[in-house]
Structure 1
Amino acid sequence: MGRRILNDALRSMVNAERRGKAMVELKPISTVMSSFLHIMKNHGYIKDFQVYDPHRVGRITVELLGRINDCKALTHRKDIKARDVEAYRLQTLPTHQVGLCQ
């Protein structure tokens, strides 16, 4: 598992929605995951989420709306120089049309 906590949580949510579940429980948790879920809630992709015992192992229960088609996190990490960041971003990340509509 290691540093793929967010990716595993997003895959669990997508799989639960494909099975028609109304709720999913995510373990382990991180502050990045709760921040990402807050953004998803503001954009209307999930109904609500509750964080239980965040100072220990913790868990998050998410109420799903059925609006998530596919959701992934970028997990590949690569050491690059600061001057090469922009070229790497343009080469690796998807276009601006993919994702949230602004």
Structure 2
Amino acid sequence: MLNDPLANVMSLMLNSELIGKSECLISPVSKVIKELLKVMKENNYVGEFKETEDSRGNYIRLTLIGNINKCGVIKPRYSVKNTEFENFEARYLPAKGIGILFVSTSRGIMTHYDAKSKKTGGRLLAYCY
């Protein structure tokens, strides 16, 4: 039984990138995972993805483009104000301006750069660089 599907997706993507695969299959699928993949695609970390259904349930076929060096989830899911992002940037990202933090806000899942510009806080979900 899977306890944290988001953590499983992030480790699956990282492991597939490290061994040189060009695509991976993600199952189970949730709205959070789809929104996170959409934000990753907008920031050029992953390629196209397509949700399909078979007899065992839904899965996503994700195309990897080789831009992920490291990614993972942030636990516990810290609640962050828009003025506190710098502390978590220093903690999870290698340098200023490199990588993104994924934030779940009342306006949906977005990067910490978007959350800063919209002056909104939220809960930290994951990081990628």
Q: TM-score, normalised by structure 2?
A: 0.59
CA distance in 2, matches of 1:48, 1:77: 27
Instruction: Report what 1:61 is aligned to.
Output: 61
CA distance in 2, matches of 1:32, 1:12: 16
Counterpart of 2:60, as a letter, is I
Q: CA deviation at 1:77?
A: 5.0
Counterpart of 1:30, as a letter, is S
Unaligned runs of 5+ in 1: none
CA 1:94–1:15 in 2, change beyond 3 Å: closer, same or farther?
same
Instruction: Report what 2:71 is aligned to.
Output: 71
Structure with the higher helix share, 1 or 2: 1
Instruction: Report what 1:22 is aligned to.
Output: 22
Q: CA deviation at 1:75?
A: 2.9
Instruction: Report what 1:39 is aligned to.
Output: 39
Could you say which structure has the larger radius of gyration?
Answer: 1
Which secondary structure state, in structure 2, belongs to the residue aligned with residue 66 of structure 1? Answer: coil
Q: CA deviation at 1:24?
A: 0.3
Counterpart of 1:93, as a letter, is F
Instruction: Report what 1:93 is aligned to.
Output: 88
Instruction: Report what 2:10 is aligned to.
Output: 10
Runs ≥4 residues deviating over 2 A: 75-78, 92-102
Instruction: Report what 1:51 is aligned to.
Output: 51
Unaligned runs of 5+ in 2: 101-111, 114-129
Which secondary structure state, in structure 1, belongs to the residue aligned with residue 63 of structure 2? Answer: strand
CA 1:77–1:37 in 2, change beyond 3 Å: closer, same or farther?
closer
Q: TM-score, normalised by structure 1?
A: 0.73
Q: In angstroms, what is the RMSD of aligned CA positions?
A: 2.8
CA distance in 1, matches of 2:47, 2:88: 28
Structure with the higher strand share, 1 or 2: 2
Conserved 8 A contact 1:7-1:75: no
Percent identity reads: 26
Counterpart of 2:43, as a letter, is H
